[in-house]
Amino acid sequence: MIGNKWTVLLVDDSVDDRLFMRRIIERSDRLLVVGEARDGHEAIDYLMGADTFGDRVQFPYPDILLLDLKMPRKNGFDVLEWIKSEKSNNLLVFVTSGSWLKEDVERSQALGANGYFKKTSDKHAQEEMVSKILQLSEGKF
């Protein structure tokens, strides 16, 4: 947490999806984007503080991870498995995916995701998603 805001790491291979999420989050008085990753490999490096992410002042450990599932190199499931193996209990993970397949939702939940949201370009639906993430995050920190 920085000030009174929960910190967020955006993980998505789509530049546009990261931009849309960043814009919606920037409107929130409770959330602050502290970093972005283009795939699961970069996300794990960020969370570990490895390579270019070693400076925790510049790249603080996030409170919340917004995670796409379908990405190159390491996908969202790989990241969820890594987080589970690291026992990162203080990190809230919310999957944001274009997939609404039952098996993707169930597997994400089984791997410890705190919520699963369908990606949308609808501004109102994005705002509702951020509101729901805030509701689910209450009491977790």
Q: What pLDDT digit, counting tens, does each position of 74-86 carry?
A: 999 999 999 999 8
Whether the CB-CB separation of 137 and 35 falls below 8 Å is answered with no
Q: Please tell me the pTM assigned to this model.
A: 0.94
Order of strands across the sheet that contains 64-67: 31-37, 6-11, 64-67, 92-97, 115-118
Q: 113-127, pLDDT tens digit by residue?
A: 999 999 988 889 989
Segment 50-56 mean pLDDT: 93
Rounded CA separation 126/122 (Å): 6
Give residue 90's pLDDT band: very low, low, confident or very high (50, 70, 90): confident
Q: Taking the domains of the chain in order of start, what are their residue ranges? A: 6-137
Specify the CATH number of the domain 6-137.
3.40.50.2300
pLDDT at 141: 60
